[in-house]
Amino acid sequence: MAYGYCPNCRCGVRYRVSPQHRAPWLAELAAEVGRGEAAALLCYGCWKPLEIGDGVEVLDPPFWRPEIGGRAKGTVTGISRDDGHAVYLVEGQAACSPWNCRFYRTQIKALEAAAAGTVRLILRAD
Ligand SMILES: [Zn+2]
């Protein structure tokens, strides 16, 4: 078991690396992952494909929308495409008024904590 961090939201990620085959070099590689410096792995909240109705936390609000503070919470109410990238319409509630804003995936994180356990990475040679 090792600990890494999510490069998107900087939260801690607990993970385990296992070789799928018993090849000695894969076992050595699995044992070395994360040694020396913390591995960077997307956490479940930053990785999870979002759907309409999912609760999200805003990691990187646009500077022109000061009413949406960092770590504001909202709900995905629409998904569209912008030059090939998914764009999520999120609605939330500020102190005194509702807000909505479009975000790229890296700007928001799923609130669902169902997969907050250990991430298991399987190494295999093709
Ligand atoms: Zn994350």
Instruction: Give the pTM.
Output: 0.80
Ligand 1: centre distance to CA 22 (Å): 31
pLDDT digits (tens, 9 = 90+) for 105-120: 999 999 986 556 888 8
Ligand 1: centre distance to CA 95 (Å): 25
Task: Report whether pLDDT(96) > 90.
Answer: no
Domains and CATH numbers, the chain: 2-44+114-123 (no CATH), 45-110 (2.30.30)
Tokens of 32: 């070395």
pLDDT digits (tens, 9 = 90+) for 19-73: 888 788 888 888 888 777 878 888 889 999 999 999 999 999 999 998 898 889 9
Ligand 1: centre distance to CA 109 (Å): 7
> Residue type at 125?
A
pLDDT of residue 8: 92
DSSP classification of residue 7: T
pLDDT of residue 116: 65
89-93, 96-100, 119-123 — which one is most confidently predicted on average?
89-93
pLDDT of residue 59: 95
Task: Report whether pLDDT(104) > 90.
Answer: yes
Q: Are 98 and 88 in contact (CB under 8 A)?
A: no
DSSP 17-74: EEESS--HHHHHHHHHTTSSS--B---HHHHSPP-TT-EEEESS--TT-TTS-TT-EE
Ligand 1: centre distance to CA 106 (Å): 9
pLDDT digits (tens, 9 = 90+) for 69-89: 888 999 999 999 988 899 999
Ligand 1: centre distance to CA 46 (Å): 4
pLDDT digits (tens, 9 = 90+) for 6-23: 999 999 888 888 888 878
